[in-house]
Structure 1
Amino acid sequence: MTHSGNPIIRHLFTADPTALVFKDRVYLYTGHDEAPAGTEAYVMNDWRCFSSADLLHWKEHAHVLKATDFKWASGGAYATSIIRHNDHFYWYVAVNHKTIEGSAIGVAVSDAPDGKFHDALNGALITRDMLPPTDNEKINLDPSVIIDDDGTGYIFWGNKICHYAKLRNDLLGLSSEIQQLDLPGFEEGAHIHKKNGWYYLSYGYGMPEKVAYAMSRSIHGPWQFKGILNELAGNCATNRPCIVDFKGRSYFFYHNGGLKNGGSHRRSVCADDLFYNEDGTMRRIIMTSEGVIV
């Protein structure tokens, strides 16, 4: 038996994982914390991509996407979500908008999982002025996208309030009104996935953030709150879950402050096993320094 070790990426600071499986490899996409040691502020300019066939050895794919590749963005490479659809890879990202105050969500596209990605819209998909008036400049954070069994896409996102909407068939626009979900303790970091007929919505709960989750038989709810999935992750105030099935097992990706000089603004992506109970609920994650066993 071999342990992957946590954090799984150890040569730079990474955060806010999203992942997909393609051709027997896991492609892991992360934020990149660049705050100097001793500086307590988010400094995030680009995203990184890594892939692995065994969750032990990770290959880095350089220069896939940065915040200013979106010409309408001023920076701020926040959390993201990536999906594959019709042989294209759609990468939904949160950034700061240049001309519309606050955070916004854009989408980049590529023919390959390791890029290079380009702005699919030459404009934002979701901006603050599309929502009810709010003084929360970070309302449009942390997108998560799912393609349902009938081919319909949905996007979930938010800070303090969780929003969701149906996507157009081309995944490049909204085709429904934006709805709000009432989730206990919702802070940010939404992640949507489906397994065995259940929809699971995991998210950052409270501050500092644990990860909680809700379940539903319908993408439109009602959502049943199921409690805590992951406890506080080390010396880090935030968390962002990602759940992936790979080679017959389920894995939970998250971040902590586990590297030397790490912390809330110098985070590191980790992975541990995830298990389901017979009734479909998920067992609490056991965070380990050993990581997954392969």
Structure 2
Amino acid sequence: MEFKSIITAIVILGITVIQAQNPIIKDVFTADPAPLVYKDKVYLYVGHDTASVGVDSYQMPDWLVYSSSDMKNWKNHGPLLSPKDFSWAAKAANAAQCIERNNKFYWYISVIHKSDQNSKGGVGIGVAVADSPTGPFKDALGKALVTNDMTTDMKHSWDDLDPTVFIDDNGQAYLFWGNGSCKWAKLKKNMIELDGPIHTFKPQNFTEAPWIYKRKDLYYLVYAAGMPERVEYCTSKSPEGPWEYRGIIQDISANSFTTHPGIVNFKGKDYYFYHNGALPTGGGYRRSVCIDYLNYNPDGSIQKVIQTKEGVFLTKTK
């Protein structure tokens, strides 16, 4: 199925009329967007909300994948991974991100770990691997990359949510994640082993959902902040910090107490992915992925995102 996305712009007598198409996926509820640019396409990895109307708990059985070559039409590749693909996982397809290295695709996921000889339970992080951005994917380790027992600075069992991975210009890969505190560690070149200790820190107002990337000479750490969640960010001259707080990017999402950022540059334009609860019958447990443009100031700071909505028209002079 094809999905219309982002915006349609019509120039009339010097006025630009912009019709929003958010949310971009309308036939199912999606959350926690993680875009990947590979060759001439954007691949979008998302969680799948299936909670019934009125059920106030997350029901997330699998992860879905979409792709687009124009940011307007999205191809549905279906569910390509689920907690059932990890023998050590119990349930809950929480936030995840897929990246490419050396023509292999590594999909970092967060799930509830079984209580067994390797972990007392809680949220853990795993990694699946494939030769294509659309799989087939398989568990790369046969065990969790990070268990809740490995991080002790926060005492709740879900502090190891939301992995994001970044490969620096020198080839060093980093894994960031966390809820309540932000955690990071280096990854070995094989992308499936930690290379050194786990570090923890607390960016201003940090809640969860980190997203790390580099633009020009600045590293950006973008994350969900507060509750209900906004999106805020820090910058640094190094992925290892220190980090300078820079402000708010996104205000609270419509009809959702959570949100989750994902940022990419595609064909010369910067795009900002997030989720809200704006679809009919949507809400905090029935969320939907949206996309808007991301704009920077000359000093590298990020302008606040204007969240466009279905049927809302924005106008500006030419």
* Pairwise TM-score range, normalised by the shorter structure: over 0.9
Tell whether the 8 Å contact from 1:4 to 1:56 is kept in structure 2 after alignment: no
- Indicate whether 1:98 and 2:118 are aligned: no
Residue 149 of structure 2 aligns to a residue whose secondary structure is: helix
Residue 18 of structure 1, aligned match among 29, 34, 39 = 34
- Indicate whether 1:289 and 2:305 are aligned: no
Q: Which amino acid aligns with 1:7?
A: P
Deviations 1:124-157 (A, max 9, x none): 0000111126431101100000000011100000
Could you say which structure has the larger radius of gyration?
2
Tell whether the 8 Å contact from 1:204 to 1:212 is kept in structure 2 after alignment: yes
- Indicate whether 1:279 and 2:299 are aligned: yes
> 1:197 is matched with which residue?
217
Tell whether the 8 Å contact from 1:93 to 1:106 is kept in structure 2 after alignment: yes
Tell whether the 8 Å contact from 1:239 to 1:254 is kept in structure 2 after alignment: yes
Tell whether the 8 Å contact from 2:20 to 2:309 is kept in structure 1 after alignment: no
In the aligned structure 2, how far is the partner of 1:239 from the partner of 1:188? Answer: 9
> 1:266 is matched with which residue?
286
Residue 81 of structure 1 aligns to a residue whose secondary structure is: strand
TM-score calculated relative to the size of structure 2: 0.90
In the aligned structure 2, how far is the partner of 1:23 from the partner of 1:196? Answer: 20
Tell whether the 8 Å contact from 1:4 to 1:55 is kept in structure 2 after alignment: no
Deviation, structure 1 residue 169: 1.1
Q: Which amino acid aligns with 1:86?
A: N
Deviations 1:157-197 (A, max 9, x none): 00001000000110101011110122111110110011101
> 1:118 is matched with which residue?
138
In the aligned structure 1, how far is the partner of 2:299 from the partner of 2:154? Answer: 39
> 1:37 is matched with which residue?
53
In the aligned structure 1, how far is the partner of 2:83 from the partner of 2:293? Answer: 31
Matches within 5 A, 1:229-240: 229-240=249-260
Q: Which amino acid aligns with 1:166?
A: K
Deviations 1:72-115 (A, max 9, x none): 00011000111100000000000000122100000001100011
In the aligned structure 2, how far is the partner of 1:133 from the partner of 1:273? Answer: 36
Number of residue pairs aligned between Structure 1 and Structure 2: 293
- Indicate whether 1:49 and 2:49 are aligned: no
In the aligned structure 1, how far is the partner of 2:21 from the partner of 2:87? Answer: 38
Deviation, structure 1 residue 63: 3.2
Residue 45 of structure 1 aligns to a residue whose secondary structure is: coil
TM-score calculated relative to the size of structure 1: 0.97
Residue 126 of structure 1 aligns to a residue whose secondary structure is: coil
Deviation, structure 1 residue 208: 0.5
Q: Which amino acid aligns with 1:265?
A: Y
> 1:85 is matched with which residue?
101
In the aligned structure 1, how far is the partner of 2:123 from the partner of 2:36? Answer: 25
Q: Which amino acid aligns with 1:180?
A: T
In the aligned structure 2, how far is the partner of 1:78 from the partner of 1:131? Answer: 18
- Indicate whether 1:176 and 2:166 are aligned: no
> 2:152 is matched with which residue?
132
Deviation, structure 1 residue 26: 0.6
Q: Which amino acid aligns with 2:194?
A: L
- Indicate whether 1:151 and 2:167 are aligned: no
In the aligned structure 2, how far is the partner of 1:136 from the partner of 1:63? Answer: 30
In the aligned structure 1, how far is the partner of 2:203 from the partner of 2:64? Answer: 30
